[in-house]
Structure 1
Amino acid sequence: MTAAAPVIFGFDGSAAAARAVRDAAPLLGPRHALVVTVWEAGRRFEAATLPVTGLEMPPTVLDLRSAIEADAAAYDAAKQTARHGAHLAREVGFLGVTGLAVADDMTPADTLLRIARERDSPGIVVGAHGHRKLSELLLGSTTDTLVHKADRPVVVVRAHAAT
């Protein structure tokens, strides 16, 4: 690890992500930070090209212009979210903060792990949304995947304090 290797923050703009940035500051001290927002590129293209079977429906017309515009809007929103997270990180004392919007490789967790390896990061910080076990089973959990697959420390901050 290099001295200036940034801590990676997985930032989706949620209250849990904002709390993770704020709560990590006293724990980690003044360090370099990279705030990463992972977005799903090409989602509109996939939806427009899904096969329809068993239904008596006319073929779907693929509107490439609309799909490209929607993808660009999703990327712009991800960049704005990353900038917001970087601003929060600077406010609480992190150094050399950069916001980065990245199209996912396979999953948000895999993308964050790849970036952490590429940047030689000392660790990853994420907020936990507090999904119930059933929804974790159905939806998957970025946090759970990070904790089990990471080759470096992962700090998980809950969205709100337990009562």
Structure 2
Amino acid sequence: MTTAAPVIFGFDGSGASQRAVRDAAPLLGHRPALVVTVWEPGRLFEAAPQPAMGLEMGMELPPTMLDLRTTIEADEEVYEAATRTARHGAHLARESGFADATGLAVADDLTVAETLIRVARERHSPGIVVGAHGHRKISELLLGSTSDTLVHKADRPVVVVRAHSKDQAP
């Protein structure tokens, strides 16, 4: 096992993130890889309906009861899925030529990009690698873009590997 700081990979299991791992190996495979899957805890809490006014004049709908145990179990399942995804990414990194690769599931801070930047700082990483999903500009305006945010906010080099277009062979 090497003591060099790892290159951070943002990995969500998509084709774009898999391609980023594979394509970065010839350039960065001499360094260790930390494959990070960011997950969002508490999503079920956010999805729980809040008391709302009914369509009839002034009738309030009863609040929906949120089962805390079910919510915690759902969070655990999301965490476990993120852990499996990160491990899969680490396996892919080793298959692609990284001698040392580890998977890590991390709860997000505010956004995926900010979480990856924080992990890169904590691990003294020389850089961050992500796959670009190829969203159209209007989607980026509505949804945001992790790769765009990383390029503009990261305090270290960022490598963005584009997904194959529909016209290109994989």
Unmatched segments (≥5 aa) in structure 2: 55-59
Unmatched segments (≥5 aa) in structure 1: none
Residue 84 of structure 1 deviates from its aligned partner by: 0.2
Partner of 2:57: none
Question: How far apart, in 2, do the equivalents of 1:42 and 1:36 lie?
Answer: 19
Of 144, 151, 155, which aligns to 1:140? 144
- Asked whether 1:68 is paired with 2:65, we answer no
8 Å contact kept, 2:9–2:129: yes
SS at match of 1:44: helix
- Asked whether 1:9 is paired with 2:9, we answer yes
TM-score normalised by length of structure 2? 0.89
Name the CA shift for 1:34/1:53 in 2 (closer, same or farther; >3 Å). same
Greater Cα radius of gyration, structure 1 or 2: 2
Q: How does 1:12-161 map to 2 (within 5 A)?
A: 12-48=12-48, 50-55=49-54, 56-161=60-165
SS at match of 2:23: helix
The count of residues paired between Structure 1 and Structure 2 equals 161
Residue 162 of structure 1 deviates from its aligned partner by: 7.6
Residue 87 of structure 2 aligns to which amino acid in structure 1?
Answer: R
Question: How far apart, in 2, do the equivalents of 1:69 and 1:139 lie?
Answer: 28
Please tell me the root mean square deviation across aligned C-alpha atoms, in Å: 1.6
SS at match of 1:120: coil
